[in-house]
């Protein structure tokens, strides 16, 4: 140490080792009480770069109202040692770190202004050494950090994949249009010194690089946001201050959301890699926890909201794209009015991620309703699988290709041995249609048994087997080759047990048989969605299935809504009933929004269908669909989503029952994993409380929680959220729900 100091005119009385990254750092105090920082660099290759930094900081110091860590003895330049290592001594700047002080508005505005003042100076400066330096903290090279995502657990990996992918698509194409400059590149709260609510110093120019100017602000915002309850309002003053000195463009501001997220991803990738290599010093990992916390919160922040707030802070207004009325009118003009819109005032959606959706005005909705984005809206594994495959090959099942063979094998591994053949189609409707054709071909009959309120599809055949449609508004009743059986519902049902319902069904089928009508198949969901989230009463399916077997009537289970782990206790809803169906139909969640459906059956039934007429679906089973579907299964497994559905579903049920006592309108609570229903009944009349349900649904939406209603009286609040729904989301749900039911019951 002493030797390192020899070349400098400093009479040290105290030397303290400080944390450092890329150099060894010592705080030196001399006889006169002056303090310095000695920086010792072991890596000779940094010599030119640090030399450039020294020169630049000297020049900047003359024009800025706050101190920079500048050379204390500029005439000495850098001191080089025999082995190529070198050192320099900088002035020590007194002040309190931004990380340690209260962030008053005044301080944050000053922070923005200070940063902009530095950037104004830097925009004038060129330095070939700094400009050609490439390092791993350069935000514009953040995608090179993506490889380290392999060191991160799946639940965190999905966020990193998602936001790097967003960066790739929404930021990277804009980079050539952005203003570039040398930037400090690390305005983090341990590099910024403050005094009396003002920035008084800036440290560590070691990460400087030539990059888009806006990266400077993005990095600073990322660190300040880590300590903020509300990251947007908590940092608006910084943007305001910045733009007062150096106005930003609309493009620069509108990519901030993605840049900040990318910086967080870069940071957690760094920490993960360091940890994996055993290099995890406290200094390196200092922001790991807060970076993760903010990254986990990020999907609940609307990009529209952030952009709107920052544009306003920068004195700019977002150009309004299409307006609500315009879009609505266009839709009304061109689409049939038989397509409905949800809610009294429909939501004008602009984006979504995982369990959150964003409207065009910047509001974030907690999605407790949509079941198709099963593993989460826009899950990166699915988007990346689709986008990779669509660039390589998308064709039909008349060629050999890997993914259909692999996915068929994988999907069938979730079924008992007997169910060992699969047909791929594009929707649940195509699946139910095909299932009925398979059954009718196999049995040489065409009479179908259905449950009341059941829904299985929108094709002509689908409507024919859907009591929800043919018995509903505009329906013409059951056709003569369909028999409707009562829905085995124990709450407000005609019987109290599954066994009684099964006996009743058997009696009805016996009558049909006596009449000379031999049904081909029975079709049902194990939890009736359109019936109002009604799990079939215990024992019903088991008794009925053994009867159907005896009568050679096939059993088709519709897993379009229920399947793929949603019910938590099992992967398929029918499994809870201890039966093995003859045919299973799949859809909705299978491709997380990519249109794909399937029919799974036995080889006997599949073989009987091969009667010379080819089965062909232009899109069914294409390579892109197969990759999407493969990705969905992988995510369910890797992120433990079935287990999560069970755990979070139980928590939901527990909370719902806790509040039920205070809510006289809650008649029944039905929860199987994340297939959830709350039925409202008027406590005085005992009648379905349809208006009450509608009020709650619409008001939940006004409070940014999406649910829906269903059931024959539309009095059942239904929830089937993406399976990444978590306990905090449940808490938020009940915060709104309880406030509403209390308000409503008092009226
Ligand atoms: C239980 C059930 N089966 C089948 C279908 C039809 O699926 P799709 O809309 O993909 O044609 C639906 C759709 O709502 C459904 O809920």
CATH of the domain at 262: 3.90.1200.10
**325 lies in a domain?**
no
Domain shared by 542 and 421, yes or no = no
SS3 (DSSP) at 626: helix
Last residue within a domain, chosen from 499, 520, 549: 549
DSSP-derived letter for residue 681 is: B
Distance (Å) from CA 585 to ligand 1 centroid: 10
How many Cβ atoms from other residues are within 10 Å of residue 577's Cβ? 21
CB-based pocket (< 6 A), ligand 1: 427-429, 432, 455-458, 525, 529, 558, 560-561, 587-588
Same domain, 482 and 347: no
Q: Which of 561, 585, 617 to mutate to test the pocket of ligand 1 (most atoms within 8 A of CB)?
A: 561
* CATH number (domain holding residue 33): 3.30.200.20
Query: No. of H helices and E strands in the chain?
Result: 24, 28
- Residue 648 Cα to ligand 1 midpoint, Å, equals 25
Say if residue 344 is in the same domain as residue 303.
Answer: no
> Do residues 420 and 432 share a domain?
no
pLDDT of residue 122: 97
Smallest CA separation from ligand 1 atom 11, residue: 429
**How are beta strands 364-367 and 421-425 bridged, if at all?**
unpaired
In-domain check, residue 170: yes
Q: Looking at the CA of residue 428, tell me the nearest atom of ligand 1.
A: 7
Using the mean position of ligand 1's atoms as its centre, give its distance from the Cα of residue 602 in Å: 22
pLDDT score, position 2 = 66
For residue 455, report the distance from its CA to the centre of ligand 1, in Å: 7
Number of domains the chain is built from: 5
Residue 519 backbone phi and psi in degrees, to 5? -65, 155
413 alpha carbon – ligand 1 mean position (Å): 23
- Which of 426, 429, 460 for mutating ligand 1's site (highest number of atoms within 8 Å of CB)? 429
| Residue 575 in domain | no
C-alpha Rg value of the chain to the nearest Å? 32
C-alpha–C-alpha distance, residues 207 and 21, integer Å: 10
As a whole number of angstroms, the distance between CA 679 and CA 714 comes to 9
Is the domain of 634 the same as that of 740? no
Is residue 308 within 8 A of residue 318, CB to CB? The reply is yes
- 681: tokens are 């009944």
Indicate which residue's Cα is closest to atom 16 of ligand 1: 561
The answer to whether residues 107 and 20 belong to one domain is no
CA of 428 to the centre of ligand 1 (A): 5
Residues 520 and 634 in one domain: no
Strands (E), 203-294: 209-212
> For residues 661 and 742, what is the distance between their CA atoms, to the nearest angstrom?
12
Q: State residue 27 phi and psi, 5-degree precision.
A: -90, 125
Atom number in ligand 1 closest to CA 458: 11
User: What is the pLDDT at residue 320?
Assistant: 59
| CATH number for position 731 | 3.90.1150.10
Beta-ladder partners of 666: 680
Token pair 């791993």 is found at 136
pTM, full prediction: 0.94
User: Is the separation of the CB atoms in 732 and 705 below 8 Å?
Assistant: yes
Which residues have C-beta within 8 Å of that of residue 310, sequence separation ≥ 6?
232, 236, 239, 253, 256
Same domain, 122 and 257: yes
- Model pLDDT, residue 522: 98
359 CA distance to ligand 1 middle (Å): 26
Ligand 1 atom showing the smallest separation from residue 597 Cα = 10
Q: Atom 7 in ligand 1: which residue has the minimum CA distance?
A: 428
- Token pair, residue 137, equals 């903290």
Burial state string for 189-226 with b = 16 or more CB within 10 A and e = fewer than 16:
bbbbbbeeebbbbbbbbbbbbbbbbbbbbbbbbbbbbb
From 623, 638, 653, give the residue that closes a domain: 638
Expressed in angstroms and rounded, the spacing between residue 456 Cα and the centre of ligand 1 is: 5
Residue 41 dihedral angles phi and psi, to the nearest 5°: -110, 120
Residue 387 lies in a domain: yes
Domain edge (last residue) among 525, 549, 573: 549
The span from the CA of 348 to the CA of 326, in Å, is 11
Nearest atom in ligand 1 to the alpha carbon of residue 562 is: 1
Q: Is residue 558 in a domain?
A: no
Closest C-alpha to ligand 1, atom 8: 428
Cβ count near 399 (within 10 Å): 9
Q: What is the pLDDT of residues 355-371, one digit of tens each?
A: 999 999 999 999 999 99
User: Which stretches of the chain score pLDDT less than 50?
Assistant: 747
Q: Which atom of ligand 1 is nearest to the CA of 525?
A: 1
Question: What is the reported pLDDT for 321?
Answer: 59
Count other Cβ atoms within 10 Å, centred on residue 1: 12
Q: Are 323 and 269 in contact (CB under 8 A)?
A: no
Distance CA 152, CA 272 (A): 6
The preferred substitution site among 458, 472, 574, 588 for testing ligand 1, maximizing ligand atoms within 8 Å of CB, is 588
Q: What one-character DSSP code corresponds to residue 612? A: S
**CATH number (domain holding residue 387):** 3.40.640.10
* Torsion from C-alpha of 4, 8, 13, 18, nearest 10 degrees: -50
Whether 566 is covered by a domain: the verdict is no
How far CA 204 is from CA of 88, 187, 372, in Å, comes to 13, 9, 48
Taking the C-alpha atoms of residue 239 and residue 484, their distance in angstroms, rounded to an integer, is 64
**328, part of any domain:** no
Does 556 reside within a domain? no
Q: Whole-angstrom Cα distance, residue 452 to residue 440?
A: 21
One domain for residues 250 and 207: yes
CA 386 to centroid of ligand 1, rounded, Å: 22
Interval between CA 457 and ligand 1 midpoint (Å): 5
Which atom of ligand 1 is found nearest the CA of 588? 10
Q: Domain range spanning residue 412?
A: 376-426+587-638
* Same domain as 730, residue 720: yes
Nearest protein Cα to ligand 1, atom 4: 456
Shared-domain flag, residues 145 and 270: yes
pLDDT at 283 (0 to 100): 63
Query: For 249, which DSSP code?
Result: P
Residue 711 CA to ligand 1 centre (angstroms): 15
- Ligand 1 center to 587 CA (angstroms): 7
Based on the domain organization, do 252 and 384 belong to the same domain? no
d(CA 584, CA 428): 11
């Amino acid at each position: 140490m002493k030797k390192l100091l020899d070349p400098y005119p400093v009479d040290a009385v105290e030397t303290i080792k400080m944390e450092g990254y890329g150099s060894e750092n010592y705080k030196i105090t001399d006889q006169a009480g002056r303090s310095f920082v000695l920086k010792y660099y072991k890596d000779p290759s940094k010599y030119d770069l640090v030399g450039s930094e020294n020169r630049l900081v000297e020049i900047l110091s003359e024009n800025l109202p706050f101190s920079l860590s500048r050379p204390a003895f500029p005439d000495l330049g850098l001191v080089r040692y025999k082995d190529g290592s070198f050192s320099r001594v900088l002035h020590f700047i007194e002040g309190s770190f931004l990380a340690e002080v209260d962030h008053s508005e005044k301080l944050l505005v000053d922070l923005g202004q200070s940063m902009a003042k530095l950037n104004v100076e830097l925009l004038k400066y060129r330095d070939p050494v700094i400009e050609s330096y490439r390092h791993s903290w350069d935000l514009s090279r953040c995608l090179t950090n993506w490889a380290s995502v392999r060191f991160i657990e799946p639940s965190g990996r999905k966020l990193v994949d998602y936001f790097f992918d967003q960066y790739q698509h929404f930021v990277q194409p804009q980079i050539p249009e952005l203003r570039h400059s040398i930037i400090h590149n690390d305005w983090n709260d341990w590099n910024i010194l403050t005094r009396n609510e003002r920035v008084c110093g800036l440290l560590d120019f070691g990460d400087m690089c030539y990059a888009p100017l806006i990266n400077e602000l993005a990095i600073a915002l990322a660190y300040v946001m880590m300590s903020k309850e509300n990251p947007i309002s908590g940092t608006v003053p910084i943007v305001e201050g910045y733009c007062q000195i150096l106005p930003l463009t609309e493009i620069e501001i509108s990519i901030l959301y993605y840049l900040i997220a990318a910086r967080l991803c870069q940071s957690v990738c760094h920490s993960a890699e360091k940890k994996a290599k055993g290099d995890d010093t406290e200094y390196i990992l200092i922001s790991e926890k807060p970076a993760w916390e903010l990254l986990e919160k990020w999907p609940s922040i609307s990009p529209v909201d952030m952009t709107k707030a920052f544009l306003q802070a920068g004195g700019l207004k977002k150009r309004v794209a299409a307006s609500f009325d315009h879009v609505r009118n266009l839709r009304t003009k061109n689409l049939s009015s038989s397509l409905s819109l949800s809610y009294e005032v429909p939501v004008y959606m602009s984006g979504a991620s995982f369990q959150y959706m964003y409207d065009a005005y910047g509001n974030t909705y907690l999605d407790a309703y949509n079941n198709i984005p099963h593993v989460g809206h826009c899950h990166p594994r699915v988007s990346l699988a689709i986008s990779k495959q669509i660039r390589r090959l998308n064709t039909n099942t008349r060629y050999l290709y890997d993914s259909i063979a692999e996915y068929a094998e994988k999907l069938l591994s979730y079924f008992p041995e007997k169910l060992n053949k699969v047909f791929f189609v594009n929707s649940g409707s195509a699946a139910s249609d095909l299932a009925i054709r398979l059954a009718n071909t196999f049995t040489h009959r065409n009479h179908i048994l259905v449950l009341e309120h059941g829904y299985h599809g929108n094709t002509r055949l689908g409507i024919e087997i859907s009591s929800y449609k043919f018995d509903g508004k505009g329906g013409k009743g059951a056709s003569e080759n369909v028999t409707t059986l009562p829905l085995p519902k124990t709450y407000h049902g005609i019987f109290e047990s599954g066994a009684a319902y099964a006996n009743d069904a058997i009696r009805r089928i016996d009558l049909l048989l006596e009449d000379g009508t031999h049904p081909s198949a029975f079709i049902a969901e194990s939890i009736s969605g359109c019936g109002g989230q009604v799990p079939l009463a215990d024992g019903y399916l088991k008794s009925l299935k053994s009867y159907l077997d005896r009568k050679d009537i096939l059993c088709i289970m519709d897993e379009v809504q229920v399947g793929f782990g949603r019910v938590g206790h099992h992967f398929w809803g029918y499994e809870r009933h201890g039966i093995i169906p003859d045919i299973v139909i799949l859809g909705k969640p299978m491709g997380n929004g990519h249109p794909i459906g399937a029919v799974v059956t036995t080889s006997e039934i599949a073989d009987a269908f091969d009667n010379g007429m080819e089965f062909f679906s232009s899109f069914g089973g294409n390579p892109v669909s197969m990759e999407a579907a493969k990705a969905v299964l992988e995510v369910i497994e890797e992120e433990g989503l079935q287990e999560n559905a069970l755990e979070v579903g139980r928590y939901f049920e527990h909370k719902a029952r806790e509040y039920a006592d205070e809510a006289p309108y809650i008649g029944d609570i039905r929860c199987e994993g994340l297939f959830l229903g709350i039925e409202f009944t008027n406590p005085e009349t005992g009648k379905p409380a349809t208006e009450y349900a509608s009020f709650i649904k619409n008001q939940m939406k006004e409070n940014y929680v999406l649910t829906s209603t269903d059931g024959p009286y539309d009095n059942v609040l239904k929830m089937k959220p993406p399976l990444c729904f978590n306990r905090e989301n449940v808490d938020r749900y009940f915060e709104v729900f309880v406030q509403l039911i209390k308000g409503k019951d008092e009226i």
